Amino acid sequence: KLFMREVLKRHAIPAPSYDAFKNRDEAVAYLEHHHYPAVVKADGLAAGKGAFVCHTLEEARGAVDIIMKERRFGDSGNCVVIEEFLEGQEISILAFTDGTNILPLDASQDHKPVFDGDEGPNTGGMGAYSPVPAITHRLYQKITREILVPTVHAMNREESPYRGILYAGLMLTADGPKVLEYNVRFGDPETQPLLMRIQSDLVPVLMATADGALDQADLVWRNQSAVCVVMASGGYPGSYETGIEIAGIAEAESDKQVKVFHAGTANPGGRIVTGGGRVLGVTALGDTPEAARERAYGAVAKIEFEGAHYRSDIAHHAVEPMRSFPAVPEA
Ligand code: AMP
Ligand code: GLY
């Protein structure tokens, strides 16, 4: 995380302010003068569990101790990064790049906390949708111009040219979009609704990405919304059992606008059973965000496994603002 923050800083790419510490006492001394909330992160990989949004000094000290004293994430916790807390809506922009050209995909939005209303601990992602009404054409262009293109150039100037899929996790702040994180892989579950919306063949785009010919590739998008609801094992993101039989997938997929993506499943002796925390990504298309959401939840209702749980408010940002718009007065 420190490496990424330093690259962004060197190239003036919008991101939260931060400091980093290799010593526990120095980190705590710094936190005594920080304003709250503050974000404390393990520098290395931590299976999505290494970032702590801390509302008080006590919480922040606790986070530093989990990372550096308890060493919950092993060597990933040799260094902590302490960041300014950014307020706003979190969105994901994925873009193909061949190192020179970029082909950004439509915006999507994940839902990280485990419970409705963004309550509870963070997960790998409990559901996603695309497109995101909050991302206007102008904002999308600003993100491309100020974040994606400068990042691809930065990697070239750092003599680390990148070809592949670039995943930007962004916060839409009052000050404009800022980078929370970068991944060099597809987002899960963001990719499920994106794939449902892509009408053209993906393979030529992948080939062009690898061959440095992305300027000659394009994608055709369905003018529809897609919503993915993740069905998770009982107990996830804590501990959970596996090997539980799953019923109803074929019934859910009898609607051609529905696709059930397997994530944590296994197939012993021809049966389909749970095999991980996030089990299925139940994804549906619809002509509006409301229609896609209704279809996705209709499909979820047909699927059963013991202990299954899911959020019932996926895509609420896309749906509620519309519901709460005042009625347009008759002319
Ligand atoms: P990360 O592991 O860095 O991707 O962070 C995990 C999650 O913590 C993000 O998806 C955000 O929800 C939250 N988060 C991380 N950094 C910040 C920040 N600087 N301000 C606000 N929220 C953050
Ligand atoms: N959905 C979050 C991720 O793929 O990292």
3-state SS of 259-328? EEEECCEECHHHCCEECCCEEEEEEEEECCHHHHHHHHHHHHCCCECCCCECCCCCCHHHHHHHHCCCCC
Q: Which two tokens stand for residue 328?
A: 């347009």
Query: What local confidence, expressed as pLDDT, does residue 325 receive?
Result: 44
CA pair distance 68, 210, nearest whole angstrom:
40
Residue nearest to atom 4 of ligand 1 (CA): 181
Cα 172 to middle of ligand 1, angstroms: 12
Q: Are strands 119-122 and 113-115 parallel, antiparallel or unpaired?
A: antiparallel
Contact predicate 252/282, CB 8 Å: yes
Does residue 118's CB lie within 6 angstroms of at least one atom of ligand 1?
A: no
pTM of the shown model: 0.92
Cα 188 to middle of ligand 2, angstroms: 5
Query: What local confidence, expressed as pLDDT, does residue 287 receive?
Result: 97
Q: How many Cα neighbours within 13 Å face the side chain of 175?
A: 8
- Ligand 2 atom having least distance to the Cα of 189: 1
Collapsing DSSP to helix, strand or coil, 56 comes out as coil
Cα 22 to middle of ligand 2, angstroms: 27
- Ligand 2 atom having least distance to the Cα of 181: 5
CA pair distance 238, 51, nearest whole angstrom:
16
Query: What local confidence, expressed as pLDDT, does residue 122 receive?
Result: 85
Question: What pLDDT, in 10s, does the model give residues 14-44?
Answer: 999 999 999 999 999 999 999 999 999 999 9
For ligand 1, mutation pick of 36, 181, 184, 185 (most atoms within 8 Å of CB): 181
**What phi and psi, each to the nearest 5 degrees, are found at residue 7?**
-60, -45
For ligand 2, mutation pick of 190, 191, 228, 230 (most atoms within 8 Å of CB): 190
Cα 314 to middle of ligand 2, angstroms: 15
- Ligand 1 atom having least distance to the Cα of 122: 7
Query: What local confidence, expressed as pLDDT, does residue 321 receive?
Result: 60
Query: What local confidence, expressed as pLDDT, does residue 326 receive?
Result: 45
Under DSSP, the state recorded for 74 is G
- Ligand 1 atom having least distance to the Cα of 18: 19
Number of residues in the chain: 331
Asked if omega into 14 is within 30° of 0 (cis), the reply is no
- Other beta carbons within 10 Å of 225: 28
Ligand with minimal distance to 118 CA: 1
Does residue 18's CB lie within 6 angstroms of at least one atom of ligand 1?
A: no
Query: What local confidence, expressed as pLDDT, does residue 214 receive?
Result: 97
Residue nearest to atom 18 of ligand 1 (CA): 85
Mark the ranges of the chain whose per-residue pLDDT is less than 70. Answer: 321-331
**What phi and psi, each to the nearest 5 degrees, are found at residue 300?**
-55, -40
CA pair distance 206, 174, nearest whole angstrom:
35
Residue nearest to atom 3 of ligand 2 (CA): 187
Does residue 106's CB lie within 6 angstroms of at least one atom of ligand 1?
A: no
Contact predicate 262/188, CB 8 Å: no
CA pair distance 106, 272, nearest whole angstrom:
32
**What lines the ligand 2 site, CB under 6 Å?**
110, 124-125, 183, 187-188, 190
Q: How many Cα neighbours within 13 Å face the side chain of 151?
A: 32
DSSP H helical ranges for the chain = 2-10, 24-31, 57-68, 137-143, 149-157, 191-197, 203-211, 249-252, 289-300, 316-323
CA pair distance 115, 73, nearest whole angstrom:
24
Q: How many Cα neighbours within 13 Å face the side chain of 81?
A: 22
Residue nearest to atom 6 of ligand 1 (CA): 51
Contact predicate 314/229, CB 8 Å: yes
Contacts with 327 (C-beta within 8 Å, 6 or more apart), sequence order: none
Question: What pLDDT, in 10s, does the model give residues 195-254?
Answer: 999 999 999 999 999 999 999 999 999 999 999 999 999 999 999 999 999 999 999 999
- Ligand 1 atom having least distance to the Cα of 16: 19
CA pair distance 263, 246, nearest whole angstrom:
13
**What phi and psi, each to the nearest 5 degrees, are found at residue 260?**
-105, 110
Ligand with minimal distance to 179 CA: 1
Query: What local confidence, expressed as pLDDT, does residue 231 receive?
Result: 98
